[in-house]
Structure 1
Amino acid sequence: MSALQVIGVHGIRQGAAATTEALSRSWQESVDDALACSGLAEAAGPVGLTVPSYQGVYPKTATRYMRLGADAAGAADDVPVDEEEEAFILEALAAYAPSAVAEEQDSPMAGRTLGAGRLTPRILRRAQAVDRVAGKGVTDRLLWLIREAHGYLRQERTAAAVRAVVREALVTTGARMVIAHSLGTVVFYDMLTRGEVPPAPDGGPGVASLITCGSPLGWLAVRKGVHAVGEPLSVPAGVEWTNLYAANDPVNRGKGLSYLAVGVTDVKVDNGKLNAHDVHRYLDKPAVAQRIGKARRH
C-alpha cells in the first residue's frame, strides 16, 4: 500500500532550525501517535507527511526577534511599526476582543511608559485593554501572530513566495490532504480562494480534505486580507473542511469557525491550559486520525 501523502502548512515562530525535514519529522511523529492511540494505524496505512518550511522566504520582522536578546534586536531589518502596520494591529486587536475598545484608556499619555521602540503608545494602550478583557499576557502572544499576519497579508511579494513553497510541495507529493495550523490556515485558505491549489488529475479539487487547527481566520482584520468583507468563509465544492479549536487557545479564543463559515465541521478539543495553541497538541487528537482514515478510504 502506498503512503497517503499529506501536506502540513505551518504557522509562525518556527526558527531558523525548523527546516522542511525537521518540521516534517516532528509533525509525522504526532500524527503517527494519534493513529496508534486511536487504533486506526493499520486501517489508515502508511502516511507521508511533508511540512514545507517557508522561513527562507519570510521577512525577519522586528517582532520575531523581540525576545531573542540584544544582538538579534539590533539587526538591520529590526524596524519599528509604521503607520500602516499600526492601523492593522489596532484593527486586529479590536476584532479579537471588541469589548476591549471601550476599556481602552483615552489619555494621550497612557501607554507611553509601558515600553519603547517597536510598539507605539496606541498599540500598547489597546494591548492593555485586550489583556484586561482576554487575560493578562494574551497580547504578548498575539502580537507575534498579528505582525507576521501583516507581513503576509500586506506584502504581496512575501505572500506569493510563501504560497509558491506550499504549492510546490503539493505538486511534488501529489497530496490531496492538507493540515494547516495557525497562520498556515490563512495561507492555505488564501491559496484556495485564489485558485492556486493544483487540480487533481481527474480535474476535481486538488485537495479533497482540509484540517485547520488553531485558526485566526475568525478575526475580521485577518479575514479582510483573504476574502470579501461580509461574505462567509467557504472552500470550493468537493473539499471536506474540518476545523479543530481548543477552549484555552488564545488565538481562536475557544471559538470555532462555523458561526461565520459554510461547509466547515468544527471539532472542539482539549489542549490543556498551557501551550494550548501548540500544533502537536492538535495533531495528536483522535479527530485528526479519523480524518486521515477517511481520506484513505476515499
Structure 2
Amino acid sequence: MTVVAVHGIWSRQSGVTPAAAAELLAVRWSDKLAAGYRDAGLTDPAPRLAAAYYAHLLDDQPPGADDPETLTPAEQSWAREWMRQAGVPAETAQAPAAPPLRQGLDWLARHGDPDARTIGRIMTALLREVSGYRTRPGVRERCRQIVMDAIDAAGARVVVAHSLGSVVAYEALCAHPEREVDLLLTLGLPGAVFDGLVPEPVGGRGRRPGGVRRWVNVADPGDLVALPAELGGRFPVDLHDTVHLGKVDFHTLGGYLSRGVTAAALHPYT
C-alpha cells in the first residue's frame, strides 16, 4: 500500500527536477514514518510514501521574504486573522505603529514565548507561499493537479498532508469528489487561510471532500502556525487528535510523521 504525502512550506529541493525532488522527500519521510511506527509500538513495516511535490511552483521569493516587515497588505490581513486565533489582543493587531505580524510576535515574546522570532519566520513563509498559491495565475490549479496525479499514479487510497499541503490536498479532493480516499490525514493545517478556501466555507464551516471516507486531523497544541488546533468546529473531521512535537520539530512534516499518534492513525488503512 502506497501513501501519498503532500508537503507544506519550505520544501523546495534545489538543483533537481520536480520528479527527483519528490523521490528525495519520499525517502526522507518514509524514514520518519518508520520511526513513528516504532514509537507507536507497531511491528508491521511502515507503508511506502510517495510525495506530491509542488514547491517549485512557489519558489521565486525575493531576498528577505521571511521578514514580517515585507508582508503585502493582503498578507497582513491574513496575519491579523492568525493573531486573533493565537490570542493576541485585537488592539495590538490593529495598532498602526508596525506591521501586524511584528506586533503580534512582540506580544507573544512579552507573554512567554521565547521562540516568537522562529514562529514569525515560519508564519511569514507560510503567508508568502499561500499568497503565491492563491494569486498567481494557474498555480492553484497546477498544485492541485500535481496532488491528484500523485494519487492516481500510486493508486493511493490514503493521503497525508501537512501545513499548506493540507490546503492543497483538501481543495484537490473537493474538486474531484469521484476520487475515493479511505483516509485523509491532515497535519498542522493552518487556520489563517480558512476564508480563502475553494470551495468557499458555508456558514463558517468548510465542506467535506465527497470521496473521503474518513478524515483525521492531528495538531500540536503548541504549534501556533496550526491554529485553531481543534478543527472540529470548522471542518467535518471524524477525529481530532493531538501530539507534542517540541521545539526541534516545530511545524515540520517529519516531526508529525515520527510520532506514534500519526502512525496509529495510518496503521488501520495500510
The interval holding the TM-score normalised by the smaller chain is 0.7 to 0.9
Question: Is 1:34 the counterpart of 2:36 in the alignment?
Answer: yes
Other structure's SS at 1:193 match: helix
User: Which amino acid letter does the alignment assign opposite residue 225 of structure 2?
Assistant: V
User: Which amino acid letter does the alignment assign opposite residue 37 of structure 1?
Assistant: D
For structure 2, list consecutive stretches of 5 or more residues without a partner in the other structure: 110-115
> Are the counterparts in 2 of residues 243 and 265 from structure 1 also a CA contact under 8 Å?
yes
Shift of 1:156: 4.2
Other structure's SS at 2:245 match: coil
Match of 2:257 in 1: 283
Instruction: Give me the whole-angstrom Cα distance separating, in 1, the residues matched to 2:94 and 2:6.
Output: 38
TM-score by length of 1: 0.75
> Are the counterparts in 1 of residues 83 and 101 from structure 2 also a CA contact under 8 Å?
no
Match of 1:51 in 2: 51
Shift of 1:127: 1.9
Match of 2:195 in 1: 223
Instruction: Give me the whole-angstrom Cα distance separating, in 2, the residues matched to 1:213 and 1:129.
Output: 27
Match of 2:113 in 1: none
> Are the counterparts in 2 of residues 245 and 267 from structure 1 also a CA contact under 8 Å?
yes
Change (3 A) 1:37 1:226: same
Question: Is 1:15 the counterpart of 2:1 in the alignment?
Answer: no
Q: Deviations over 1:177-199 (max 9, x none)?
A: 0110111001011112222x662
Shift of 1:222: 4.0
Change (3 A) 1:131 1:51: same
Other structure's SS at 2:141 match: helix
Q: Deviations over 1:230-275 (max 9, x none)?
A: 3412323542111111122121147221122223311110101344
Q: Deviations over 1:88-146 (max 9, x none)?
A: 21221111112444114745xx34xxxxxxxxxxxxx2122211343432323211100
Higher relative contact order (CA 8 A, sep 6+): 2
Instruction: Give me the whole-angstrom Cα distance separating, in 2, the residues matched to 1:11 and 1:282.
Output: 12
> Are the counterparts in 2 of residues 242 and 266 from structure 1 also a CA contact under 8 Å?
yes
How many corresponding residue pairs? 251
Instruction: Give me the whole-angstrom Cα distance separating, in 1, the residues matched to 2:208 and 2:108.
Output: 30
Other structure's SS at 1:234 match: coil
Match of 1:262 in 2: 236
Match of 1:184 in 2: 165
Match of 1:293 in 2: 267
Instruction: Give me the whole-angstrom Cα distance separating, in 1, the residues matched to 2:156 and 2:5.
Output: 10
Report sequence identity in percent. 22
User: Which amino acid letter does the alignment assign opposite residue 50 of structure 1?
Assistant: A
Q: Deviations over 1:13-70 (max 9, x none)?
A: 123348111100011001112123323242xx561210132133334122xx4279xx
Other structure's SS at 1:97 match: helix
Shift of 1:152: 0.6
Other structure's SS at 2:125 match: helix
Match of 2:73 in 1: 87
Other structure's SS at 1:130 match: helix
- Specify which of 235, 255, 271 is matched with residue 208 of structure 2: 235
> Are the counterparts in 1 of residues 200 and 206 from structure 2 also a CA contact under 8 Å?
no
Instruction: Give me the whole-angstrom Cα distance separating, in 1, the residues matched to 2:46 and 2:80.
Output: 44
Question: Is 1:153 the counterpart of 2:153 in the alignment?
Answer: no
RMSD: 2.5
User: Which amino acid letter does the alignment assign opposite residue 259 of structure 1?
Assistant: G
Change (3 A) 1:106 1:278: closer
Shift of 1:87: 3.0
TM-score by length of 2: 0.83
- Show the 5 A alignment for 1:50-129: 50-62=50-62, 65-66=63-64, 86-98=72-84, 99-104=88-93, 106=95, 110-111=97-98, 125-129=99-103
For structure 1, list consecutive stretches of 5 or more residues without a partner in the other structure: 69-79, 112-124, 200-204
Match of 2:112 in 1: none
> Are the counterparts in 2 of residues 181 and 212 from structure 1 also a CA contact under 8 Å?
yes
